[in-house]
Amino acid sequence: MSGIKIAIIGGSGVYKIEGIEVVKEHLVSTPFGNPSSEIIEARLSGVSFYFLPRHGKRHSFTPSDVNYRANIFALKELGVEYIISVSAVGSLKEEFPPTSFVIVDQFIDWTKGKRERTFFNNGFVGHVSVAEPIEKKLQEMIVAVCAEVGVKHGSGGSYLCIEGPQFSTKAESNIYRSFGASVIGMTNVPEAYLAKEAGMAYATIAMVTDYDCWKEEHCTLEEIMKVMATNNQQVHAVLKKLIPKLNSNKFNFKKENTFAILSKPEKLNAEQSHVIEVLLR
């Protein structure tokens, strides 16, 4: 193990931060297949961390095609304990305009069952609580850094995850607003739930690009590209402070998987035993 405890999962633009040094790339195979790409080991302000492009280096995986189990398992195998998810979202609330960040604390799963969403199947059983899917201390740290660098942000709220790759109809968008959800995206479920199953601290930086389609507001491609460029600049500023801060202020947290496994160890095969050994580290 390298001793690196922090990982960022996001788009390929996330790790193009001024001052970042790419050290090497790790090709990690897992019992669940291959992750989205090689896992990038990088260094920023003297702190080493991992970066995983969620959709692959060339954005070749749709949200439904991402191998979320392999991504999370590969990071846990490398020794990661803290995951910061960076995700583009649509806003479902007037108070979260484009270029604002929402540091959510809940998820609503509105996917369609196409995604492999648990490590516990095919002969061994475990039940992990995802009542609190976001690690509160990590969320609070992100909120504090957003305030420090001057990024407009909201603390708390629900991320509603749809299957995609299509965006919502207006009728759907208004239904989601009636749920009280704050933002809508396509990737953080089952990613967040799998991180809980793996005993990892997980938190999301949801970067608002638009108002979904509920709001009668036309956006040109040029305007959207400007929003995305602003969001990237802002998240770079956040990560440049957040990564060293988290590295210096690592914290203990409750691992919900500690007593979750019901299958008898003597009934497991070698691969299943390895999976459990990694998840429970």
Instruction: For each of the domains in the chain, give its residue range(s) and CATH number, in order of start.
Output: 86-279 (3.40.50.1580)
Identify the CA nearest to 217 among candidates 97, 102, 95, 89.
97
Around Cβ 202, how many Cβ atoms within 10 Å? 24
Angle of helix 68-77 relative to helix 188-197, nearest 10 degrees, comes to 40
Q: How far apart are CA 99 and CA 231, in angstroms?
A: 6
Percent of the chain with pLDDT over 90: 83
Q: What is the pLDDT of residue 12?
A: 66
Q: What is the pLDDT of residue 266?
A: 82
Percent of the chain with pLDDT over 70: 97
pLDDT tens string 149-187: 999 999 999 999 999 999 999 999 999 999 999 999 999
Mean pLDDT of the chain: 93
Rounding to the nearest 10 degrees, give the CA dihedral for residues 120, 125, 129, 130: 20
Q: What is the pLDDT of residue 52?
A: 96
Check: CB of residue 145 under 8 Å from CB of residue 240: no
Q: How far apart are CA 101 and CA 124, in angstroms?
A: 39
Catalytic annotation on 212?
A: yes
- Vertex 228: Cα angle to 50 and 234 (nearest 5): 60
Q: What is the pLDDT of residue 218?
A: 66
51-55, 121-125, 136-140: range with lowest mean pLDDT:
121-125
Q: What is the pLDDT of residue 13?
A: 72
> Which helix (H) or strand (E) covers residue 228, if one does?
helix 221-248
Catalytic annotation on 109?
A: no
Catalytic residue among 65, 105, 109, 212: 212
Q: What is the pLDDT of residue 116?
A: 95
Residues composing the chain: 281
Structure tokens at 201: 């601290």
Around Cβ 32, how many Cβ atoms within 10 Å? 18
pLDDT tens string 17-65: 888 999 999 999 999 999 999 999 999 989 999 999 999 988 899 999 9
Higher-pLDDT residue of 11, 12: 11
Residues 6 or more apart whose CB falls under 8 angstroms from that of 166 comprise none
pLDDT confidence band for 236 (50 / 70 / 90)? very high
pTM: 0.95
Catalytic residue among 65, 105, 109, 210: 210
Check: CB of residue 238 under 8 Å from CB of residue 102: no
pLDDT tens string 62-85: 999 999 999 999 999 999 999 999
